[in-house]
Amino acid sequence: METIQKVLQTIPQELILFYSVVFCAVGFLFAFIALIVAVKVSRRSKRILRDGSGRDITEAIVNYYKKCTEIMDDYNKAEERLKKLEAESKSCVKKVGAIRYNAFGGNNSNLSFAAAVLDDSDSGFVINGVYSRQQTTTYLKPINKGKSLFELSEEEEEAIKTAKINYERNITR
């Protein structure tokens, strides 16, 4: 203790006073800077809270988290619906093709037809209407994965091929 008193007695009073004033001025400067920073942060937080999401930043964060959770729930529901629709659409009619032809030659003006109606896996049916002057006959043949248990005519094969081409053409548009 005595050594501290001796050291203080050797330092002039004016110097101690000067350093005390400088120390206080630096402290006031730091306090002023802290006040400016606090005001800026307060303004920013008021801007964040302006939308009425809460009274303080914690409440705003909680509300924001709730909104994000709701959006994720909606996204997950939409994704489930999309998967369900994709699965259902595989069995929907996607490929349709029809051709007209003259079954017996002569002057019956291509009144016969063959039409193919297929899904994503090339399953469905081919309908063939054969026109003659005396009668019209219609045949329906099931198609499973592009094949039929019944023998297909050239026109029916062409209708299936046309259905596939039409589908590919519509996909690439």
**Structural domain ending residue among the three candidates 42, 69, 87:** 87
Which of the four pLDDT bands, split at 50, 70 and 90, describes residue 131? confident
Report pLDDT digits (tens) over 56-78. 777 778 888 999 999 999 999 99
Q: Say how far apart CA 15 and CA 20 lie, in whole Å.
A: 8
pLDDT at residue 162, rounded to an integer: 95
Which of the four pLDDT bands, split at 50, 70 and 90, describes residue 11? confident
Report pLDDT digits (tens) over 133-166. 788 899 999 999 989 999 999 999 999 999 999 9
Same domain, 58 and 118: no
Q: Say how far apart CA 71 and CA 78 lie, in whole Å.
A: 10
Residue whose token pair is 């529901």 = 77
Same domain, 139 and 105: yes
* Terminal CA-CA length for the chain: 94
Beta pairing class for 136-143 and 95-101: unpaired
Same domain, 57 and 102: no
Q: Are 115 and 101 within 8 A, CB to CB?
A: no
Q: Find the domain containing 59 and state its range.
A: 23-87
pLDDT at residue 134, rounded to an integer: 84
DSSP string, 31-55: HHHHHHHHHHHHHHHHHHHTTTT-S
Question: What is the percent of the chain with per-residue pLDDT over 90, rounded to a whole number?
Answer: 52
Q: Are 137 and 129 within 8 A, CB to CB?
A: yes
pLDDT at residue 68, rounded to an integer: 95
Q: Are 125 and 117 within 8 A, CB to CB?
A: yes
Same domain, 78 and 111: no
Number of structural domains, the chain? Answer: 2
Q: Say how far apart CA 126 and CA 94 lie, in whole Å.
A: 14
